[in-house]
Amino acid sequence: MNYELKYGCNPNQKPAKISIDGELPIEILNGKAGYINLLDALNGYQLVRELMQATGLPAAASFKHVSPAGAAIGLPLNETLKKMYFVEDGIELSPLACAYVRARGADRMSSFGDFVSVSSKVDMSLAGILHHEVSDGIIAPDYDEDALELLKTKKRGNYTIIRMDENYVPAPIERRMVYGITFEQGRNDLHIDEDMLKTIVTENKTIPESAKLDLLIALITLKYTQSNSVCYAEGGQTIGVGAGQQSRIHCTRLAGGKADFWHLRQCPKVLELPFRPDIPRANRDNAIDLYLSDEECGDVLDEGKWQNFFTVRPEIFTREEKRAWLANYTETSLASDAFFPFSDNIERAYRSGVRYVAQPGGSVRDEDVIKACNEHDMVMVFTGMRLFHH
């Protein structure tokens, strides 16, 4: 069975389609799915399905260009996170809606125009949240009727809505063609659970249950993130994903910077920024990103520019103030899809509050990396399994 696409990755790449022997496991309920939409949808659905299987909680992911901007499980939001994620007072959030709010809130700038993947039947609570966000589409196992009708009104009726067959079992062999040559490999059906966290190689061997949960979230997220990749997680969600970098330290820096911004967004100085009431959420996200950037803060606070966002000119958030605030966070988890070749990754992770680390191990410099963890009283596990994804 085939599903014809408008074009492939780019408008010049025609014809384009997806196909399978037998019935397609997806049903397009609304809109017209594109090539990249479907890559995001199918990768994202696998991720959230595995998160739910590993944790027993509904899960959501926000995908952009075949990597997750964020992923999370359906834990309740405290008041700080509600304000940080622009969730209005008085709105009741279902566990599934909490999962998506967290997933999008991990990196709201990157999630702009995302493709949403959720593990469970979409309810009106989630549909109400999505109704106010800029998003390209959603994939889910099913939809409540009223939620489906509301989502159909997005993007002037063109919002892509996909239903996934929960009982679908893919073939054990995957194939793809590059430059006319067919590649073939077994599916990565590695099961990620707490058994992967048993080989603790550091002097500190205490991992609380909350950190185990975060490490599982980070590892499962990496399984569907373009490599090289590193993921920071905290409180039941990713808080920084570094994807597709050639150097592992660049992954760690990129994801660490996002984790730092996530922590800084919880500071009252940021939560209480005096935004004009007519400024949309996406513009607020952009302004916050500029405000937190040491290099670009002046762009948003310059005389004549701050009025574009704020009712009054905010005070500068100094580097010293940022360092003091970030020092409050010391329970972050970090996972890597391959071994750390140098201890510089640990030093950078420590600066972002990381205490718990999961990586495959197997580097000739493993002892140097372990030593660095011991110096910072960090806990590190060797999973023994690489998680490259391309």
30-59 burial, b at 16+ Cβ within 10 Å, e below that, comes to: bbebbbbbbbbbbbbbbbbbbbbebbebbb
CB under 8 A, 24+ apart: contacts of 255-261:
255/230, 255/231, 256/232, 256/348, 256/349, 256/351, 256/352, 258/106, 258/107, 258/232, 259/232, 259/234, 259/332, 259/352, 259/353, 260/322, 260/326, 260/352, 261/289, 261/292
Indicate the class that CATH gives domain 174-264+326-382. alpha beta
> What confidence score (pLDDT) does residue 168 get?
96
Please give the backbone phi and psi of residue 95, each rounded to the nearest 5 degrees, phi first.
-55, -40
Please measure the distance between the N-terminal and C-terminal CA atoms of the chain and give it in whole angstroms: 25
Active site residue 390: yes
CA-wise closest residue to 155 among 106, 115, 111, 105: 115
pLDDT in tens, 255-312: 999 999 999 999 999 999 999 999 999 999 999 999 999 877 777 888 778 999 999 9
For every residue of 171-202, DSSP letters joined together read -SEEEEEETTEEEEEE---PPPSGGGG--B-S
d(CA 131, CA 124): 10
> What confidence score (pLDDT) does residue 390 get?
93
- Cβ within 8 Å of residue 375, ≥6 positions away: none
Residue found by looking up tokens 């007072």 in the block = 89
The SS3 assignment for 58 reads: coil
Antiparallel, parallel or unpaired: β 229-234 and 59-64? unpaired
223, 228, 258, 345: which is the annotated catalytic residue? 228
The SS3 assignment for 41 reads: helix
Active site residue 376: no
d(CA 148, CA 315): 44
> What confidence score (pLDDT) does residue 304 get?
76
d(CA 182, CA 198): 38
Model's pTM, two decimal places? 0.96
> What confidence score (pLDDT) does residue 170 get?
95
> What confidence score (pLDDT) does residue 134 get?
95
> What confidence score (pLDDT) does residue 1 get?
84
Whether residue 188 contacts residue 219, with contact meaning beta carbons closer than 8 Å, is answered with no
2, 12, 191, 390: which is the annotated catalytic residue? 390
Residue found by looking up tokens 């991992």 in the block = 207
CA-wise closest residue to 113 among 88, 130, 95, 91: 130
The SS3 assignment for 238 reads: strand
- Give the residue range(s) of CATH 3.40.140.20 domains in the chain: 2-169, 174-264+326-382
65, 121, 305, 389: which is the annotated catalytic residue? 65
- Cβ within 8 Å of residue 1, ≥6 positions away: 19, 20, 22, 23, 24
The SS3 assignment for 131 reads: helix
Residue range 2-169 in CATH 3.40.50.1370: no
The torsion defined by the Cα of 9, 237, 268 and 313, in degrees rounded to 10, comes to 0
30, 64, 223, 263: which is the annotated catalytic residue? 64
- The maximal CA–CA distance of the chain, rounded, in angstroms, is 63
Active site residue 83: no
d(CA 127, CA 47): 20
Sites in the chain below the pLDDT cut of 70: none
pLDDT in tens, 327-381: 999 999 999 999 999 999 999 999 999 999 999 999 999 999 999 999 999 999 9
Antiparallel, parallel or unpaired: β 332-336 and 354-359? parallel
Q: In whole angstroms, what separates CA 21 from the centre of its chain?
A: 32
Active site residue 82: no
